[in-house]
Structure 1
Amino acid sequence: MTSELPSTSRSLPIALIRAREGVMSPIRDMLSETGITEQQWRVLRVLSEYGVLDAKTLADRSSLLFPSLTRIAATLREKGLVTQTRDDQDRRRQFIKITPEGQKIIDDRADQAALIVEGFKATLGIENYETLLDLLALLDPGSRG
C-alpha cells in the first residue's frame, strides 16, 4: 500500500515552520539590541508572569528541554538577569527567579511586544487569532488530559 503525501504547500509541519518564522521575525528584531536570545526571552517572560519557579516547571512553561534550560539559566545568571537557589530539603531541586535587571528587559519591551501581538491580531482577526491558539493547544502534548 502506497500512501500519497500531501503537497508541501499543505504539509502541517512545513506550514508550522513557516508560520513560526513569520511570528518570530518581529520578535527577533525586538530582541536584536538586548543581547538575549529568543529562548532567554521566553524564560524571562515566564518568570515575569509566574514568579519564582523550580527548574523543571520553568523548562515546561518555557517550552524548553531541561538540559537547555540549565544552560540558558546559567547564562542568564551570569548576565545578572536571574538568580538560582537550591531547595533546602532537596538539594537537587533549584528555584529560579527573575532579577530587577531581568524584569527591566521585559518592562522596557512590553509596549513593543504588545504591538507585535496586535499586528498578528490585525492580520488574522481577533477571532481567528484566538481560534488558532486553541487549535495549536490541541497539538500540544503537554496540554492533553
Structure 2
Amino acid sequence: MRKFNDSLPLKLLRTRDKLMGYFRPLFLQYELTEQQWRVLRALYEYKELEPSQLAEYCNILTPSMTGILNRLEQAGHIYKRKGSEDRRRFVVGMTAPARDLFDDLSPEVEKCYDKMRADIGNDKVDELSELLDQVLERLDSLED
C-alpha cells in the first residue's frame, strides 16, 4: 500500500484547504461560510435554482444544503418560493441586498485570487486548473 502522504485524495484535500486559506478570512469578515459563498455564487449566475440543483452545482450534500439555505434565509440573503410547475417544490433566489453584498465582495475575492496566483505562479495555477478539468471530464465520462 502506498504511503499515507502519497494518497491522491489526501493531497487534493490538503491543497483545497490551503487554497481556501486565501478566501476564508474575507468570508469571515462578511459572516459567510465557504459553502454559503458557493451558494450565493451559483444563485448570482443562475438566478433561481431548486435546492437539489444547488447541491449538485455547489458540490454540497443535500442534507447539509438544507441547513445552509435556512441560515442564508435567516440572514436575509435568499428567498424561497413555490415552484410554478410543481407547487410541492420550491426554488431559491438571491435577495437584492445579497446581490449588493455579492457585488461588493466579488472584487475582494478577485484580489484573493490575484494573491494566490502571485504566490503560486500563474502558470502553475493555470496548469493545475486545466489538469483538474481533464481529470473531471475523464471521470465524468466513466459515469455515463
1:66 corresponds to: 62
Q: Is the 8 A contact 1:81 1:98 kept in 2?
A: yes
2:44 corresponds to: 48
The amino acid of 2:93's aligned partner reads K
Selected match of 2:111 from 115, 139, 144: 115
Q: Is the 8 A contact 2:80 2:91 kept in 1?
A: yes
Instruction: Tell me the C-alpha RMSD between the 2 structures.
Output: 2.1
2:79 corresponds to: 83
Which range moves more in the overlay, 11-20 or 131-140?
Answer: 131-140
1:16 corresponds to: 12
Q: Is the 8 A contact 1:46 1:62 kept in 2?
A: yes
Deviation for aligned residue 1:74 = 1.4
CA–CA separation in structure 2 for the residues paired with 1:38 and 1:85: 24
Deviation for aligned residue 1:95 = 0.8
Summarize the Cα distance change of 1:84–1:121 in structure 2 as closer, same or farther, 3 Å threshold.
same
- Structure 2 regions of 5+ residues with no counterpart? none
CA–CA separation in structure 2 for the residues paired with 1:69 and 1:92: 18
Deviation for aligned residue 1:47 = 0.7
The amino acid of 1:92's aligned partner reads R
- TM-score by length of structure 1 reads 0.84
Deviation for aligned residue 1:138 = 4.1
CA deviations 1:43-94 (Å, max 9, x no partner) are 0111112211122111111111112112211111111100111113313322
- TM-score by length of structure 2 reads 0.84
Higher normalized helix content (fraction of residues):
2
Count, aligned residues: 141
Identity of aligned residues (%): 30
- Structure 1 regions of 5+ residues with no counterpart? none
CA deviations 1:6-44 (Å, max 9, x no partner) are x33432122112211211112110011212211111101
CA deviations 1:95-118 (Å, max 9, x no partner) are 111111111222111111101112
SS in 1 for 2:103: helix
Matched, 1:98 2:122: no
CA–CA separation in structure 2 for the residues paired with 1:95 and 1:22: 33
